[in-house]
Amino acid sequence: MSFTYEFPRPSVTIDAVVFGVNQELELELLLIKRRDDPFKDCWALPGGFVNVADTVPQGESLEAAAYRELREETGIKVDYLEQLYTFGEPGRDPRGRIISVAYFALVRSKDHTAIGGDDAKEAAWMSFKALPKLAFDHHKIISMALERLRSKIRYQPIGLNLLPEKFTISQLRKLYEAILGYKINHGNFRRQILPKNRPNFIKPVRTLREKSNRTGPPAQIYFFDKLLYENAVAKGFDFKLNCRKISQ
């Protein structure tokens, strides 16, 4: 049996905020150039309408739509998308009452080549420091996604997966600075990353040290012991990182 409704029904879209970290440990954002109106030729987040149907199973899930639109418009497949927020302010889309559910992810840019497809003329990684003017309310969506990301890296070591297998503490600090948007106090950061009062899941590689152009000894190289971290979390370990700004 089918049903009809007295009240108008809005359309539902998804938007994908995919942050990237490049080889210089700088923050980037995945954008597409729109092929069609509205906002033709403007840069925007990858996204589109959720496929629906009047028959069971009534189309696709929100998450499935997010992965599909990202793949169709940019050629990129990610392992994980996290739901961010629902944006439904009246007038946010000139085509009508459209509610968008946003998702976000953090990846290594070099592992994901962007190629425009479907209704995207282009797809590209862009420096977060020089983003173009964006379509719809996508600046608002990106701002909220960035705040969520900045909060998340303070209680989960998600950034460690973006570094080379072997890295220096300076590289790790540079990654956090790129995401947080400010310079971090070196000593404070090192003490929190390499504390003396708990088993450390960031371990030194004792046989290798990074060459350096600076005077003095070369920097120590470390690796992330993921198994040790997961075991510590299972026993109740709570990762917290308070990245103090450098005093002005």
CATH of the domain at 184: 1.10.10.10
Q: Is the dihedral of CA 35, 32, 137, 68 positive or negative?
A: positive
Domain count, the chain: 2
Q: What is the pLDDT of residue 208?
A: 56
Q: What is the pLDDT of residue 183?
A: 93
74 belongs to a structural domain: yes
Please say if the pLDDT value at position 171 is more than 60: yes
129 belongs to a structural domain: yes
Q: Are 107 and 205 in a shared domain?
A: no
Kindly give the pairing relationship between strand 82-87 and strand 98-108: antiparallel
List, in sequence order, the alpha helices (H) in the chain: 62-74, 138-152, 169-180, 186-193, 226-234
Q: Are 90 and 23 in a shared domain?
A: yes
Q: What is the pLDDT of residue 216?
A: 61
Domain boundary among 117, 152, 187: 152
Q: Are 84 and 66 in a shared domain?
A: yes
> Over the chain, what is the mean pLDDT?
90
Higher pLDDT, 204 or 247: 204
Higher pLDDT, 54 or 101: 101
Q: Is the dihedral of CA 180, 138, 161, 126 positive or negative?
A: negative
220 belongs to a structural domain: yes
Higher pLDDT, 228 or 215: 228
Q: Are 142 and 178 in a shared domain?
A: no
Binning pLDDT at 50, 70 and 90, where does residue 113 land?
Answer: very high
Binning pLDDT at 50, 70 and 90, where does residue 247 land?
Answer: low
Q: Is the dihedral of CA 160, 32, 150, 66 positive or negative?
A: negative
Report the CATH number at residue 22.
3.90.79.10
Q: Are 33 and 130 in a shared domain?
A: yes
* Of 7-11, 97-101, 198-202, highest mean pLDDT: 97-101
Q: Which of 64-68, 106-110, 212-216, 235-239 has the lowest mean pLDDT?
A: 212-216
Active site residue 26: no
Q: Are 27 and 91 in a shared domain?
A: yes
- Asked whether the beta carbons of 43 and 73 are under 8 A apart, the reply is no
Q: Are 135 and 21 in a shared domain?
A: yes
Structural domain that includes position 189: 158-234
- Which listed residue (60, 63, 122, 210) is catalytic? 122
Q: Are 98 and 31 in a shared domain?
A: yes
188 belongs to a structural domain: yes
Mean predicted confidence (pLDDT) in 41-60: 92
202 belongs to a structural domain: yes
